[in-house]
Structure 1
Amino acid sequence: MSPRSLIRGVLGTLMLAAAALSAPAAAQAAPAPIVGGSQATETYSFMASLQQQGRHGCGGSLIAPQWVVTAAHCVTSRQGGVTPAQQIQLRIGSNDHTQGTSAAVQRVIRHPRYTGDVSGGNDIALLQLRTQVQNQPVSIASGSPSENSSTRLLGWGQTCPQQGCSQQPPRYLKQLDTRINPDRMCAAGFNGANELCVYGTPQATACYGDSGGPALIGGSGRWQLVGATSRAGQNGSTCGTGNATIYTDVTAHRQWISQNTGGA
């Protein structure tokens, strides 16, 4: 894995590859999974699986009946362009990523300041669905979580920390309860203004295949979205290296989200 990379996020490549993962290129990201977590203890109505040809590639969160937030690198091709909306399908609201509400994508909106280098920040994108779904969305928290506050991570990523150690994503959703790190625990290139430094180790972390999936605060029936999986917190190809994972701070992008969704 390239420095600070967790998720390659190239849906076309990810979905067609046998392992549903691709080898990350320099300064880009690769999909991250949940290592050391447990099977999901509840059904998250807002949890989305981004897919191509029926293969899971990244996670996302339903924030309104017609809108999903994910990582920008999940909708970026090897050439740096935006993945065409018609190539992306979603499954929403089931712990089994082969089930749940099926939704087609009408429009992909990548953050305009995302450069293709995830260490540059702004690793966030919006997916507008062709039609509204009935699933209950998750609300975005009013502000960034404080240092050492608890957070829950969700994903269908690989369950071992070394790149390529798993050839298939798990079918059933996993969760991991962890905490927000001090900013200093994440590597150079981390931007505390719009990113979250999340605690993790090679035995318990987000990893390849979890990209774009949520970091949550709150509890059952009152979950709030604070982050979207972006990349590793330190250099190295093993997930959890440096005891950190970097998440895009979704709360820091509230204004951009509101502008593009019409306040949805």
Structure 2
Amino acid sequence: MATPASAIVGGVPATTPYATSLQSFSSTTSGRADAAEATANFECGGVLIAPTWVLTAGHCIPYTTGQARLNSLSWKEGGEAIPIKAVFRDPASDPTGARFGNDGGLVQLAEPAHSQSLPLAAFEQPKTTPGTLQGWGLTCDDLLGDSTDPCWKSKPEHLQELSMKRVDDHVCDLLSPSGTQLMEPATMMCLVPSKDGKSGACFGDSGSPEFLTLQVLDKVTKRRRWQPVVFGIQNAIMNASSFKDGSGNLIPNVCSVGPNGAINRDALTKVSPELPWIINTIAAHDRSASVSVQRNLITPGDLAPDTLGAPRK
């Protein structure tokens, strides 16, 4: 649907936490008259690309103001929890949500993370090549009620992942209520689940990384090694112009099947067109981190022969 995506339906538990959990804080009274404690709330996914920088979706930026939890399969505990220092949104994006292009966002952390950052792809993901989407979004999309509906409460604590493949851009074509085409191939790509069935990204998966595990040649030793490479960031579900019907009722299964039984279609922000903004934004605040991101970029020349034909599962 033409709305930010949230969680993975029909996925499986992830075993390696490549995704980062971005959280906000809310204050709750602790019991004493004038005492309160902060409660973390999961908002969006992201991926660490430098020790103090996380890449996410631009539409997530207004909500990611608390902390980032890295290197943990749980968004609630474990790994590293680091306060967020600043957030940045690609100025070419549309904060009103009327269009989905250029949906890049950056989160600067208050201190360096010890977790491993992932390299970004400096080229587009090939068609039909399967990748992996990770996220903490909803695992149920039988949305038949309001926010009290059990489906809205199905956000998992454990990170989920789903195999997806890129298809032709027109598969994600979708008109907004005003008649504007929401799929923008210049900065977005269209993915569908690799296997048939009720599956797909859902509410809460926004900002989560989509990556391919490829054989690359080490820049120093020239030896082959397997490396997760980030090609996309979850942006929007493209199954309907709204997740409510004309009467204001929620449309069930919109994250996984969509109206009229259509297969799930997810639009992701392509990493490669966002690279100039990513590199320049980081450089304006942390030149060494910008150099690190550029040094770690993966180009076709960094791949071992035929690696795209046989990505590791």
* TM-score after normalising by structure 2: 0.68
Separation in 2, partners of 1:147, 1:64: 28
1:75 Cα shift?
Answer: 1.6
1:88 Cα shift?
Answer: 2.0
- Per-residue CA deviations over 1:199-243 (Å, capped at 9, x if unaligned) read 047711010111100111125951000111111123152113243
Report whether the alignment pairs 1:214 with 2:194: no
Separation in 1, partners of 2:158, 2:213: 22
Please say if residues 139 and 154 of structure 2, whose CA atoms lie closer than 8 Å, have aligned partners that are also in contact.
no
1:166 Cα shift?
Answer: 3.1
- Per-residue CA deviations over 1:124-146 (Å, capped at 9, x if unaligned) read 11001111111110100121101
Separation in 2, partners of 1:211, 1:179: 18
Structure 2 residue aligned with 1:43: 16
Pick from 191, 194, 214 the counterpart of residue 198 of structure 1: 191
Separation in 2, partners of 1:213, 1:146: 20
Separation in 1, partners of 2:160, 2:117: 19
Structure-2 change in CA distance of 1:221 and 1:166 (3 Å): farther
Structure 2 residue aligned with 1:181: 167
Separation in 2, partners of 1:157, 1:234: 17
Q: Which has the larger radius of gyration?
A: 2
Structure 2: 5+ residue stretches without partners: 26-39, 144-148, 175-181, 215-224, 244-253, 284-289, 294-313
- Per-residue CA deviations over 1:142-179 (Å, capped at 9, x if unaligned) read 21101111110000111112445231420100110121
| Shift >6 Å, 4+ stretches | none
Map residues 88-107 of structure 1 onto 2, 5 A cutoff: 88-98=66-76, 99-107=78-86
Separation in 2, partners of 1:193, 1:217: 21
Matched residue type, 2:107? L
Please say if residues 52 and 88 of structure 1, whose CA atoms lie closer than 8 Å, have aligned partners that are also in contact.
yes
Root-mean-square deviation (CA, aligned residues, Å) is: 1.9
Please say if residues 118 and 230 of structure 1, whose CA atoms lie closer than 8 Å, have aligned partners that are also in contact.
no
Please say if residues 138 and 203 of structure 2, whose CA atoms lie closer than 8 Å, have aligned partners that are also in contact.
yes
Separation in 2, partners of 1:130, 1:95: 22
Separation in 2, partners of 1:198, 1:118: 21
1:118 Cα shift?
Answer: 5.8
Matched residue type, 1:100? G
Matched residue type, 2:271? V
Map residues 9-48 of structure 1 onto 2, 5 A cutoff: 31-40=5-14, 42-44=15-17, 46-48=18-20
Separation in 2, partners of 1:239, 1:183: 18
Pick from 42, 50, 55 the counterpart of residue 64 of structure 1: 50
Structure 2 residue aligned with 1:145: 125
Structure 2 residue aligned with 1:161: 141
Please say if residues 202 and 239 of structure 1, whose CA atoms lie closer than 8 Å, have aligned partners that are also in contact.
no
1:119 Cα shift?
Answer: 2.7
* TM-score after normalising by structure 1: 0.81
Separation in 2, partners of 1:162, 1:138: 34
Paired residue secondary structure (2:152): coil
Pick from 116, 120, 130 the counterpart of residue 136 of structure 1: 116
1:180 Cα shift?
Answer: 0.7
Matched residue type, 1:66? T
Structure 1: 5+ residue stretches without partners: 8-30, 77-82
